[in-house]
Structure 1
Amino acid sequence: MKFVDEAWIDVAAGDGGNGCASFRHEKFREFGGPDGGDGGRGGHVWAEADPNLNTLVDFRYARRHEAQRGEHGRGSDQYGAKGADLVLRMPVGTIIRDADSGELLGELLAPGQRLLLAKGGDGGLGNLHFKSSTNRAPRQRTLGKPGERRRLHLELKVLADVGLLGMPNAGKSTLIAAVSNARPKIADYPFTTLHPNLGVVRVGPQQSFVIADVPGLIEGAAEGAGLGHQFLRHLQRTRLLLHLVDVAPFDESVDPVAQARAIVAELKKYDPQLAAKPRWLVLNKLDMVPADEREARVRDVVRRLRFKGPVYAVSALTREGLEPLMRDIHQWLAAQRQAEAPAPVDPRFDAARAGTDTPAPAGPAADDPRFRP
């Protein structure tokens, strides 16, 4: 399936039905009075996050989406039915903006989350609402209000815990295929990866995290060179970046340290906040280096880069060093989530604030006025 992470669509909520001006006509009731019903509300347009979707390709070709209008009111006190709501299913991680004003309408960050895109118009009032002691035969009614219409810009940023960085052919696709259930295309030429790939890494029972692989970056990517600049947005939601460096390039004239510095420079040009994310250095293709030269090669790259963070030497092809790397990533992510979790609240304070009938705790705290219901 073609990967599409940006689309423009037009949405239109349903118009409200018109109110009815009618009078009761029944046998033996000469002055039955007004009986015109109200019009129904127009249907809303909703966006719903669907975890089974991973692209916006459905909105690339179907760009006009309209909800059903409300029915008109009828006589005999019959109200018009409201129009059916329209639900647009989008991938988790979609950002929705008003294309004309640039206003951020919201983000779909959790499966099943809903966001109102356009509100349906209210139905008009029938003439039964206008009767009074001085106006017993009202002929007034109101028309239904039009539904909202908007032009929207949809942008998809995949939700992943870890993002892979590196030059083309650094071994990113091989690594994600080795540690997760992702099966990206792998070949011996640059730009094999043409769109982001997501994989779930399982390190134990009910212990996993999501890793994302984006197309390789080259120098000038922030200005539009290559493919990676189109997908750098997908790394903005990650918590951790793994910077893969090929320590055994086919061309001996290529300097891995210069390539690594070029990647960092492109990140800073594209988004300083993205460049400031925690970044670990992963020296890949260790199997291509003679065993007696590996340690010296690793020390030389780290020394020249002046890298202060965690460093791992691995081989994605033979899976050497991947298990401790994945285990350390999981532990780091767990620590980050724990640090961001809100502090637990003492239920005794909750009972005191809510004024419930929960008995005050026994012991010395029983005399504390904070714990009295």
Structure 2
Amino acid sequence: MKLYEFQGKQLFKKCGIRTPEGIIIENNIAIPEKTHDITYPAMVKAQVLSGGRGKAGGVKRAMNPQEAAGFTEQLLGADLKECKIDAILIEECVPFIEEYYLSITLDSASRMPVVIFSKHGGVDIEEVAATDPDKIAKVIIDPLIGLQDFYYEVIFRKAGLTEPDLKGRIKEVIASLYALFNDYDCMLVEINPLMRVKDGSIIAADAKVDIDDSGVYRHPDLIAWREEMATSELIKQAKAVKFLYIDCEPDGTVGVISNGSGMIMSCVDWITKQGGKVACALDLGGGATADRVAEGIRILAQNPNVKAILISIFGGITRCDEIAGGIIKAVEKIPVPIVAKLDGTNKEVGMKLLVNANRTDITIGYTIKEAAEKVLKAQN
């Protein structure tokens, strides 16, 4: 679950990290009233779950309420980087003297949290990493002992931070961010830029927070946000029946249905290798019945870009004969060709059902490579 900037900053404030003062506007009616409560100059920031919004025109500087209202009216409801802007954050400009980069994420090799800090914030951290990696401090934290003092010293030494007062203030931010990372089951917490202002205090001028979906249920505030977030109609339909629907390539033409994220990723990879593009995918989860399979196909087929569907199932508690029954049931009403690859429980029964159905809109793939090739041919 990815949070909008204003949501991430609400969590920052809750854990003691200072952020600029600002307000959220979600409809044009509120613009005249709310924009007068801000100290100017101010930043008008489109709230989208996409990076690079500044370069795309989603962040503007307003010198007075009239400019802020004009920018807000211009941005609200518009599309930015293929995302609709449903909210605008207007906040005070921060008179900073230095910008830093700070994040905590999971290190895939050690499977432990890693703190990443650099004195060179406010720019693409990937660019700094590519051109001068020594400017970025990365320290893996053992979660069994937590953020001990020696970790901070390693971070500051690697980053070239020497001022005692500054080290103390940033230490407080790192400690608070680490607590947030653990308490909210985060996959990533990022502040870029983390600003040092004239009075020496530290302010988080931006916020990027990604939450592990498996931990959302433990946090009532996150559950409420997830319910409020604008989602597509297909995502809502899938969620209502406990499926996971995922939009992929906007110019994709193939839909993928499987049971598990690893299987879905494998299908996407093979389709891509064969020169195709996946428009969307749907995770059935475990134990899908014929009726649920048919419902999954119905949801996926509503994407107007989908010209053919690849269904790849490894049956455990999910039986291949139920999958086959759902496919046969679905194609009677849905005019989209389907390529099926079945393995596992009741594979032979499921394959026999598909063969005996004797339908031209159902094709069997015996390997994932073959299934990927056939689904690209089927779409034509």
Q: Which bin holds the TM-score, normalised by the shorter protein?
A: 0.3 to 0.5
Structure exhibiting the larger radius of gyration computed from Cα positions: 1
Q: TM-score under structure 2 normalisation?
A: 0.33
Larger helix fraction of residues: 2
Q: TM-score under structure 1 normalisation?
A: 0.34
By relative contact order (CA 8 Å, sep 6+), the higher-ranking structure is 1
